Amino acid sequence: MGVDSFVSWLRDVAVSLHDNAAYLTELDSAIGDADHGANMDRGFQAVVGVLDETSFDSADELLKKAGMTLVSKVGGASGPLYGTFFLRFGTALAGADLTPETIGKGLHAGVEGVLARGKAELGDKTMYDAWAPALEAYDAAVAGGSDLGTALTAAAEAAAKGRDATIPLVARKGRASYLGERSAGHQDPGATSTTLILESAARTLP
Amino acid sequence: MGTMKKLINDPADVVSEALQGMAAAHPDRLRVDLENRIVYRKDAPRPGKVGLISGGGSGHEPMHGGFVGLGMLDAACAGEVFTSPVPDQMMAATKAVDAGAGVLHIVKNYTGDVMNFEMAAELAAADAGTEVLSVVTNDDVAVQDSLYTAGRRGVGVTVLLEKIVGAAAEEGRPLQEVADLAKRVNDNGRSMGMALTSCTVPAAGKPTFELAENEMEVGIGIHGEPGRQRLPLAPARDVAAMLVDPVVSDLPYQQGDSVIAFVNGMGGTPLLELYLMYNEVAQLLDRAGITVARSLVGNYITSLEMAGCSVTLLKVDDDLVRLWDAPVNTPGLRWGA
């Protein structure tokens, strides 16, 4: 695999987020401010614009540029959070061979960036509730000798479970936290977009 | 979809076309960078003056772009509707208004706004040159337990703060002093809001939440997000008490205190009702022995076409009242100039 796989991933994410924009916004209407779908769609359309104009020699440069583009185009909380994820992911891949191990390190670095920026903890009803089990499943699969495709599929499945598990939670971060107990019973939009991004990775990266 | 009734062309163009309108309507006072979506005071940067920047999602007009001008902000960064602007905008605005005296960022406490302004400050520091301080407003008492939430939201006090701190910067006070004053204003202000209707984000095309004919939402923010409680519709005097009581008891404001009393419309409530609400608020304050030094009634920090209002109290001393009375000339607030 090489940089082309990462280009395919980002393009596929853009399609997936576009197709799910209304769904994400609907989730965000229930407990947030009804902009998550539109913002993610706008951000990844801008990433596609960059991909159309620029060719990249390495995955790390590509991911860093995608991160900067998201920071510049998305706004809200998801811009800095996803932007930081791709920036840190890219930075961690600099100079490394693309293997399940190095990609795992990159994913960890990205999620650590998300945590540093968002200061969320497990169970706060945020995207981290999808990222955390996904990383755990990915690491376990790679440690067991799985290839990248199997590991990413395991990660995406774990993210989906984490996403579903946000439904009964009371939000403690972001705008949903203003609702207190009333935020329970709704699926977190951020955990949902994270799952879409990982599902796309499982389809396109290997 | 299909139920949205708005004076727009295309939902995707709402913010940029509204900014073009501001530029066209106020060429004497404003300069608008349409590409970066920044509204500038026409004569910024002012030599020797601390630059004041705010910004946030669109849909709260006149805040913040309507508060750019003499005696208030030097620049305002506009995000998409209800979405914070991005660090690039704050960076560009910061550089453009810095005249050597430094820049104060006025940030409302929302997760996105705080993160984007933080990133801008980090980038500005790396980029070198401009001294930047920040104040985060968080006056909304409807958010009760800050340990388990993103913290109290910045709402009505932001308007009063931009006016008062704007006057202090206009006087030539130095950055640290201006920042300390901003913090003092925030610390002495409290707000609470309610909604009679939801609002429709143009890109979403349908109301953010549904309220039945006989319901109201108490403890709302300014982004069409649902509030703390859904209650049966009540007479204005009861609604006033629901807003004033938690505000007064929170600081607390006490007998003998002097305040600026601000009844703000959320965008879809007529002034007739806002003045009626102000009457109820003033009576409650009078009964509590709180003196209204100054008042403000109108639509200043809105939530698109939402019907409803918020009440903000700011405890003031002579210095704050003097700064409040100082000349201001912006599209949204003007007196003495």
Question: How high is the ipTM of this complex?
Answer: 0.80
Interface contact B221, partner A, CB < 8 A: yes
Element housing B229 (H / E): strand B229-232
Domain range for B305 is: 189-315
Q: Is residue B1 part of a domain?
A: no
List the single residue in A32, A42, A170 with the smallest CB-CB distance to B225: A32
User: What is the domain-level CATH number for residue B155?
Assistant: 3.40.50.10440
What's the domain count of chain A? 1
Whether residues B138 and B158 fall in one domain: yes
Whether residues B40 and B176 fall in one domain: yes
Query: What's the mean per-residue pLDDT of chain A?
Result: 95
User: What is the domain-level CATH number for residue B289?
Assistant: 3.30.1180.20
List the single residue in B57, B119, B149 with the smallest CB-CB distance to A178: B149
Q: Is residue B133 part of a domain?
A: yes
Q: Is residue B211 part of a domain?
A: yes
Q: Is residue B332 part of a domain?
A: no
Q: Is residue B252 part of a domain?
A: yes
Show the low-confidence residues of chain A (pLDDT under 50).
Answer: none
Whether residues B22 and B152 fall in one domain: yes
What's the domain count of chain B? 2
Whether residues B279 and B264 fall in one domain: yes
3-state secondary structure of B309: strand
Whether residues B178 and B255 fall in one domain: no
User: What is the domain-level CATH number for residue A190?
Assistant: 1.25.40.340
- Catalytic residues of B, by residue number, are 60, 223
pLDDT at A12: 98
Residues from chain A contacting residue B82 (CB–CB below 8 Å): 33-35
Residues from chain A contacting residue B80 (CB–CB below 8 Å): 35, 38-39, 42, 75
Residues 6+ apart with CB under 8 A from A7: A51, A56, A62
Residues from chain A contacting residue B198 (CB–CB below 8 Å): none
pLDDT at A175: 81
Are B229 and B289 in contact by the 8 Å Cβ rule? The answer is no
Domain range for A198 is: 3-204
pLDDT at A29: 87
pLDDT at A180: 81
Interface contact A119, partner B, CB < 8 A: no
Q: A58 — phi, psi (to 5°)?
A: -140, 150
Interface contact B146, partner A, CB < 8 A: no
- Residue-wise pLDDT tens digits, B44-74: 999 999 999 999 999 999 999 999 999 999 9
Handedness of CA B312, B53, B208, A32 (dihedral sign): negative
List the single residue in A29, A38, A78 with the smallest CB-CB distance to B209: A29
Whether residues B113 and B234 fall in one domain: no
Whether residues B90 and B205 fall in one domain: no
Q: Is residue B336 part of a domain?
A: no
Q: Is residue B324 part of a domain?
A: no
Q: Is residue B4 part of a domain?
A: no
Pick left, alpha or beta for residue B69 (phi over 0 → left; psi -120 to 50 → alpha; otherwise beta).
left
pLDDT at B123: 74
pLDDT at B223: 85
Report the relative pairing of strands B103-108 and B51-58 from DSSP bridges: parallel
pLDDT at B1: 44
Whether residues B176 and B209 fall in one domain: no
In a mutagenesis test of the A interface, which of B58, B115, B119, B218 is the best target, namely the one with the most A β-carbons within 10 Å?
Answer: B115
Q: Burial level of A109, CB count in 10 A (0-12/13-18/19+)?
A: middle
Show the low-confidence residues of chain B (pLDDT under 50).
Answer: 1-2
Whether residues B64 and B121 fall in one domain: yes
Task: Give the count of beta carbons closer than 10 Å to the beta carbon of residue A4.
Answer: 12
Q: Do B221 and A175 touch (CB under 8 A)?
A: yes
Interface contact A200, partner B, CB < 8 A: no
Instruction: State the Rg of chain A over Cα.
Output: 16
Handedness of CA B199, B227, B80, A52 (dihedral sign): negative
